[in-house]
Amino acid sequence: ATIRRTEPTAGSGDSARRFGTQRVLVEPDAASGVAVMKFKNPPVNSLSLELLTEFIISLEKLENDKTFRGVILTSDCPRVFSAGLDLTEMCGKNPAHYAEYWKAVQELWLRLYLSNLVLIAAINGACPAGGCLISLTCDYRILADNPKYLIGLNETLLGIVAPFWFKDTLVNTIGHRASEQALQLGLLFLPAEALQVGLVDQVVPEDQVLSTALSVMARWMAIPDHARQLTKNMMRKTTVDRLVKQRDADIQNFVSFISRDSIQKSLQMYLEKLKQKKG
Ligand SMILES: CC/C=C\C/C=C\C/C=C\CC/C=C/CC(=O)SCCNC(=O)CCNC(=O)[C@H](O)C(C)(C)COP(=O)(O)OP(=O)(O)OC[C@H]1O[C@@H](n2cnc3c(N)ncnc32)[C@H](O)[C@@H]1OP(=O)(O)O
């Protein structure tokens, strides 16, 4: 994918400078060491190969810049945090494309889940499937209180199966029994339900999502990095290692699963349904 970087905007200091790429806007505040990263892949921030690639590049840039200790992930698209994996990347393409795409999905998850940065999800819109997965990799989740902003791993509703590392990430967050139900039923939770089950940590009025994220971030930033990072590593490394040990097999598994005629039909029907919803 070709990545076009955005130029910094004119301004009087670091906090006025933006960088990033076409689909990932980064608003850095060097004074506080916090950057706000906004997904901008309209209409629904589906995780296309381009968006995944740009996300990985922007994250790496922030990880390598010691100025930054915390990142808030949010959406620049109204009413949607992310619609999850881009269904058009998983439909009607060839096995080499599916493999390339899945490798990028794995790469993003691996980088996010063990990131040294404090990651906070400011969820300002609908957050199904892969969108929910991204939020689950964060250290803290704040969801806007809007009944249209459903969140969850709804893969079974599409006739597909959440891979074991999606499942592990959910289990690590809400526990085994709640995950078992949520995954089998493909549950999409209302904000109050998501809070109750522990899928998000806070539900706040829509206009307070970012300000809440910034104040929560201040609390996390008050902890010495080395102690917090080692603790995060201790909590998450076993989960990450499970995928690292079998990345290639996981790619092969995905490619053969997604290439099945029955799965392609299910995905196409689901896409059709999404399109018809409008008409
Ligand atoms: C034995 C086997 C073992 C293991 C298995 C091995 C491997 C596992 C295999 C597969 C796992 C793959 C994992 C996938 C995870 C995912 O993330 S799948 C994606 C799931 N996403 C969704 O279900 C969300 C679908 N979208 C929506 O519900 C709504 O769009 C949303 C609520 C987000 C926003 O609603 P609204 O604002 O009304 O927008 P529209 O619905 O009108 O959509 C606007 C246009 O965007 C298109 N679109 C929506 N979502 C996607 C998407 N995810 N990908 C691509 N395109 C999408 C939609 O069709 C509209 O397009 P149009 O304008 O009509 O052209």
Q: How far apart are CA 201 and CA 243, in angstroms?
A: 26
Residue 134, CA distances (Å) to 46, 111, 131, 268 in order: 12, 11, 5, 24
* Residue 2 pLDDT: 52
- Is-catalytic flag, 85? yes
Q: What are the residue ranges in the chain where pLDDT is below 50?
A: 1, 7-16
* Residue 279 pLDDT: 59
Q: How far apart are CA 121 and CA 137, in angstroms?
A: 9
Considering the candidates 50, 54, 89, 155, report the single residue annotated as catalytic. Answer: 155
- Looking up tokens 């598994």 gives 253
- What is the per-residue pLDDT across 163-192, written as a single tens digit (0 to 9) for each? 999 999 999 999 999 999 999 999 999 999
The residues lining ligand 1, judged by C-beta closer than 6 Å to any ligand atom, are 43-44, 46, 79-80, 83-88, 126, 128-130, 154-155, 158, 160-161, 163, 253-254, 257-258, 271, 274-275, 277-278
Nearest residue to 188 via CA among 142, 159, 141, 156: 156
Q: How far apart are CA 68 and CA 55, in angstroms?
A: 16
**Which ligand 1 atom is at minimum distance from the Cα of 129?**
17
**Centre of ligand 1 from the C-alpha of residue 84, in Å:** 6
* Residue 11 pLDDT: 40
- Is-catalytic flag, 124? no
Count Cβ atoms below 10 Å from residue 189 Cβ, excluding itself: 22
Residue 243, CA distances (Å) to 79, 107, 259, 276 in order: 32, 10, 21, 37
**Which ligand 1 atom is at minimum distance from the Cα of 79?**
37
Q: Which two tokens stand for residue 254?
A: 């995905």
Judge whether 44 and 83 are in contact, CB under 8 Å.
Answer: yes
**Centre of ligand 1 from the C-alpha of residue 15, in Å:** 34
By alpha-carbon position, which residue is closest to atom 28 of ligand 1?
83
Q: What is the ipTM of this complex?
A: 0.98
